[in-house]
C-alpha cells in the first residue's frame, strides 16, 4: 500500500506534516509506504530533524505550493507542479492508493474532480465527516461542505453513498440512514427536505429510519446522517468546538476527546474514483498521524469501487 501526503499543505506545513508522518511510520505496518510530495531538500532536512532512518518513506519532488488563499481552479492550472497537482497525478496514474492533504480544501476538491473524476452516475461528490457517538462509535455525516445547495436527488444519493461507505469502512451490515431535519415527523422541514424524505423513504438501496433532529447528533440514532453541505458544515464545526470548550472549562471525558478534530484527522471526498482525504488546515502532527490511519483503513475497505458498482 502506498499513501501520498502533501508535505507542503497546511498552516503548520511542512514541519507538522513530516513529524506526523514519522509518528505514523511507528504504528503503520511495514508494507505501507508513505510518499511525501513537496520540496525534496526541505523534506529531507525535516526527516533528519525528526531522526527518521527507516525505509517506508519516499519523497516525490514538487516545486510549487498552492497557498491557502489561492483560487483553486486557477492555482491548479497555473501550478501543475504544485504538491497538490503532483499528488493527484500520482493518484490518477495509480502510483499511490490514496492522496491526503491539509492544504487548500477547494484545490483538493477541484483536483479530485479534474484528475480521478467523479464516479459515473454521481451528481456531486461530497465530503464525509465522522461524528462521535455516546455509544462509543462514529456516525458518517454527508455532506460537510462541498455542496452548500442541494437538490432532493442529491440528498438521496448522499444517503446511498454514505451507506456504502459506512458498510465497508466501519463493517456495519445495514447502516441506519437518517435525514437531518427540524423535526422527526415526515412533513417537517423545507421543501427540499420534504422531497428528499420521500426519495429516501422509497429507496430500496438503504435502511432509511426517517428524520433526526440536532439534539440526536451524538446519541447513536443513525449510522449515516444526510444533510446539505451548508447545514453539515455548521453542525460539524459546532461539534468540533466541544473539545476546546470543555478543555477551557477544565473538563475531560472520553467522549469529548473524540470531538477533537485530531482524533480522526481527516475527511474523505466520497463519490470520486479514488481515495482522497482532506485534513484541517490547522492540522497538528497527531492529526496527520491519525489521518494516515484513516487512509489505510479506507484503502483496505475499497469503498469507492463498491460505490461505483452500486451506481453502475
pLDDT tens digit sequence for 231-262: 999 999 999 999 999 999 999 999 999 999 99
Answer whether 55's CB lies under 8 Å from 101's CB.
Answer: no
Q: Please list, residue by residue across 143-172, b when 16 or more beta carbons sit within 10 angstroms of its beta carbon and e when fewer do.
A: bbbbbeebbbebbbbbbbbbbbbbbbbbeb
pTM across the whole model: 0.95
In this structure, what C-alpha cell is assigned to residue 203?
429507496
C-beta of residue 184 within 8 angstroms of C-beta of residue 172 = no
Quick count: other Cβ atoms within 10 Å of Cβ 49?
Answer: 12
pLDDT at 17: 98
Distance CA 91, CA 76 (A): 15
Burial 295-312 (b: 16+ CB within 10 A, else e): bbebbebebbebbbeebe
Q: Determine the pLDDT at residue 133.
A: 96
Question: pLDDT at position 244, please?
Answer: 94
Cell (9 digits) for 216: 440526536
Residues whose CB falls within 8 Å of the CB of residue 304, separated by 6 or more in sequence, listed in order: 119, 270, 272, 273, 274, 275
Task: Look at residue 202 in the predicted model and tell me its pLDDT.
Answer: 98
Write out residues in the chain with pLDDT < 70, as ranges. Answer: none
Confirm if 43 and 61 have CB atoms less than 8 A apart: no
Exposed, middle or buried by CB within 10 Å (0-12, 13-18, 19+), for 279? buried
> pLDDT averaged over the chain?
96
What is the per-residue pLDDT for 312? Answer: 80
The structural domains of the chain, ordered by start, are 1-119+271-302 (3.40.718.10), 123-264 (3.40.718.10)
Amino acid at each position: 500500500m502506498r499513501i501520498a501526503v502533501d508535505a507542503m499543505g497546511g498552516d503548520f506545513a511542512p514541519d507538522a506534516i513530516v513529524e506526523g508522518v514519522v509518528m505514523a511510520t511507528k504504528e503503520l505496518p511495514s508494507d505501507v509506504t508513505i510518499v511525501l510530495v513537496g520540496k525534496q531538500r526541505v523534506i529531507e532536512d525535516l526527516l533528519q530533524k525528526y531522526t527518521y532512518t527507516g525505509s517506508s518513506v519516499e519523497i516525490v519532488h514538487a516545486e510549487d505550493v498552492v497557498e491557502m488563499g489561492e483560487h483553486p481552479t486557477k492555482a491548479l492550472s497555473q501550478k501543475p507542479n504544485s504538491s497538490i497537482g503532483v499528488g493527484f497525478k500520482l493518484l490518477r496514474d495509480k502510483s499511490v492508493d490514496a492522496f491526503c492533504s491539509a492544504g487548500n480544501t477547494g484545490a483538493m476538491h477541484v483536483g479530485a474532480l479534474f484528475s480521478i473524476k467523479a464516479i459515473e452516475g454521481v451528481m456531486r461528490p461530497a465530503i464525509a465527516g465522522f461524528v462521535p457517538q455516546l455509544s462509543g462509535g462514529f456516525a458518517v455525516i454527508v455532506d460537510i461542505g462541498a455542496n452548500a445547495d442541494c437538490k432532493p436527488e442529491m440528498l438521496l444519493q448522499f444517503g446511498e453513498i454514505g451507506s456504502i461507505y459506512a458498510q465497508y469502512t466501519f463493517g456495519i451490515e445495514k447502516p441506519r440512514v437518517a435525514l437531518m431535519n427540524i423535526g422527526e415527523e415526515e412533513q417537517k422541514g423545507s421543501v427540499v427536505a420534504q422531497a428528499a424524505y420521500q426519495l429516501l423513504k422509497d429507496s430500496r438501496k438503504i435502511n432509511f429510519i426517517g428524520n433526526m433532529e440536532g439534539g440526536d447528533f451524538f446519541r447513536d440514532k443513525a449510522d449515516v446522517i444526510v444533510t446539505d453541505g451548508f447545514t453539515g458544515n455548521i453542525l460539524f464545526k459546532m461539534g468540533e468546538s466541544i473539545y476546546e470548550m470543555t478543555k477551557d472549562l477544565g473538563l475531560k471525558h472520553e467522549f469529548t476527546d473524540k470531538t477533537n478534530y485530531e482524533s480522526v484527522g481527516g475527511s474523505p471526498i466520497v463519490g470520486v474514483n479514488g481515495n482522497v482525504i482532506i485534513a484541517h488546515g490547522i492540522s497538528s502532527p497527531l492529526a496527520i498521524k491519525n489521518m494516515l490511519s484513516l487512509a489505510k483503513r479506507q484503502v483496505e475497505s475499497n469503498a469507492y469501487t463498491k460505490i461505483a458498482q452500486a451506481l453502475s
